[in-house]
Amino acid sequence: MAIVIMAGSSGRTVPPQPFATEDEFQVLLANSPQLLREDADAPLALVAREVDLHEAGYLDLLLVSGDGLPVAVEVKLERNDQARREVVAQVIDYLSALTTLTVDELDERVEGKLEAALRTFSSPGDDDETEFERRWRAVGANLRAGLARLVVALDGAPPGLERIFRFLARNSDLDVRLLVVQRHNAGPVGDICVSNVLVSPSSDETRPQSTLDRTPRPELIAAANAFNASNKSGLMAVGAGVNYRQIRPPDWPAGFRTHYEFYQTKSILGAELHIETDAARSLGEELAPLAGTQVAAGAASLVWDGNWSSGRGRLAAQFPPEVEPHHVAAAMEDLIALTRDKVRRRLSELHQARPAP
């Protein structure tokens, strides 16, 4: 990308100034996290550099967004041999290790810097403690759901790496970003730094021409936001899907793929409980009898769908998409109150009955 500084009718081209080392590049990004985000993204704050993820190695940069999304950043120079296919496996390894941690464990791992970063987002007039707690819970919910953003920042991207990232952006639910950052020395003006996002889930180039728009549905977002704002259950709806936001209670045993979900189609917006693995299929025997129970102060009744997920089932309160968001949020709160303990007990029994590995 050419940078031209104009003086009257004449201009002077300022060529890129190479980074001497990856550490120099990393320091720039740590000091200027805005280079790592797109315009529509929430603001970013640096948590820490060189985060020890134990068996996965050291993550170059850990940031967090203003809406509680962890952001893992790997920094490479194009001339580094690892700025090719190896970096893809590396960043996915970072993600897998990062999302095994709870929010408290992550904060301890970075010596309290996560809390400090989250507190930087407060604005004048905010209830600082309430806003901090909301963001803290959002980080925890995202980690439990395995959600984080992967960013690879380079000073120049090999074509093969761009192809791999485009494939991931098109064909997975991972929030992956590939961007190039260049620095130009403009003399007395100082350095001019420019970032160019080559691949991201929101870029038009990453979508096959035959697919539908992948912008999240506004009714879905409104319902999830209303639920998160009420916080009666202490849970958070998270995710980046076009038509869903999930809620995963931390007291449920892992491995059963059972969760609450705001789910939207063209004609239905649902507050639902999904069973998506054979290991939890027997939950249907306890949930099906709840069909007909009124929720959201009578705005809807629960429906049992025994055909969902290859016959595993779902319990749902379903509304037309144009319904007021607070009705859907209230239905989810009632669904959680009716089923959370019941599901936890049953999953705990199933977990204990599993044969030892």
Q: Convert the pLDDT of each residue in 73-88 to its tens digit.
A: 999 988 776 656 678 8
- Asked whether the predicted pLDDT for residue 89 surpasses 80, the reply is yes
Distance of alpha carbon 334 from alpha carbon 228, whole angstroms: 14
Per-residue model confidence as pLDDT tens digits over 293-324: 999 999 999 999 998 887 889 999 999 999 99
Q: Please check whether residue 178 is in contact with residue 74, taking contact to mean a CB–CB distance below 8 angstroms.
A: no
User: Average pLDDT in the 178-198 region?
Assistant: 83
- Those residues whose C-beta lies under 8 Å from the C-beta of residue 1, and which sit 6 or more positions away, are 182, 194, 196
pLDDT of residue 336: 98
At residue 356, the pLDDT reads 60
Cβ partners under 8 Å of residue 353, min gap 6: none
Give the least confident one: 1-15, 223-237, 305-319. 1-15
When pLDDT is averaged across residues 251-257 and rounded to a whole number, the result is 86
Does 31 score more than 50 pLDDT? yes
pLDDT category at 214 given cuts 50, 70, 90 is: low
Domains of the chain in sequence order: 14-206 (3.40.1350.10), 218-353 (3.30.1460)
- Arithmetic mean of pLDDT over the chain: 86
Determine the average pLDDT of the residues in 100-120.
92
pTM of the model: 0.63
Find the distance separating the first CA and the last CA of the chain, reported in whole Å: 55
Q: For tokens 């991207």, name the residue.
A: 157
pLDDT at 154 exceeding the cut of 80: yes
Task: Give me the phi and psi of 172, to 5 degrees please.
Answer: -140, 170
User: pLDDT value at position 165?
Assistant: 87
Mean pLDDT of 178-185: 88
Average pLDDT over residues 251-262: 90
155 versus 240: the higher-pLDDT residue is 155
The pLDDT of residue 127 is 59
pLDDT of residue 189: 67
Strand partners, 150: 72, 176
pLDDT for 209 equals 35
For residue 206, pLDDT over 70 is answered with no
pLDDT at 241: 73
Q: CB–CB of 1/196 below 8 Å?
A: yes
CA distance 102 to 87: 25
Q: Environment class of residue 329 by beta-carbon count within 10 Å: exposed (0-12), middle (13-18) or buried (19+)?
A: buried
Compute the C-alpha angle 151/155/157, nearest 5°: 70
With bands split at pLDDT 50, 70 and 90, how would you rate the model's confidence at 70?
A: very high
Q: Do residues 224 and 231 lie in contact, with contact meaning Cβ atoms separated by under 8 Å? A: no
| Mean pLDDT score, 144-149 | 85
Q: Which of 123-137, 242-256, 322-336 is the most confident on average?
A: 322-336
Return the higher-pLDDT residue of 46 and 208.
46
